[in-house]
C-alpha cells in the first residue's frame, strides 16, 4: 500500500526538466527582442519571440510557450523596461 501511495504522489508532481519544466519560469533578455531575440534562462541562451512588442536588454520575461525550438515570451508583471 505504501508503494502505491509513493507512485501516486510521484505521478502528481509537476515536471522539473525539459520544455514542460520551463513553462512559467523567468528569464532575462540579453539581446533586444523585436519580435525575435535572445534570452538567458539558467545557464543557457535561447532564441525567443515576444508575444507583444519590443523587449529591451535586461528585461525579465516569463516563458509561456514554444514555437519549435524558440521560446514564446511575455513581459513579467511589474517590469518597467
Q: pLDDT tens-digit profile of 49-62? A: 998 889 999 999 99
- Residue 67 neighbours by CB under 8 Å, 6+ apart: 49
Q: So where are the chain's domains?
A: 22-75
pTM of the model: 0.73
Q: Identify the CATH homologous superfamily for domain 22-75.
A: Nucleic acid-binding proteins (2.40.50.140)
User: What are the backbone angles phi and psi of residue 64, rounded to the nearest 5°?
Assistant: -120, 0
Task: Using CA atoms of 45, 48, 50, 55 in order, give the dihedral in degrees to the nearest 10.
Answer: 30
Q: Among the listed ranges 10-14, 28-32, 34-38, 77-81, which one has the minimum average pLDDT value? A: 77-81
Amino acid at each position: 500500500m505504501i508503494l502505491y501511495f509513493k507512485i501516486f504522489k510521484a505521478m502528481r508532481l509537476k515536471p522539473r526538466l525539459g520544455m514542460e519544466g520551463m513553462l512559467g519560469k523567468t528569464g532575462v533578455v540579453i539581446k533586444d527582442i523585436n519580435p525575435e531575440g535572445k534570452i538567458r534562462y539558467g545557464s543557457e541562451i535561447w532564441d525567443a519571440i515576444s508575444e507583444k512588442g519590443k523587449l529591451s536588454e535586461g528585461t525579465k520575461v516569463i516563458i509561456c510557450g514554444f514555437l519549435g525550438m524558440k521560446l514564446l515570451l511575455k513581459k513579467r508583471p511589474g517590469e518597467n523596461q
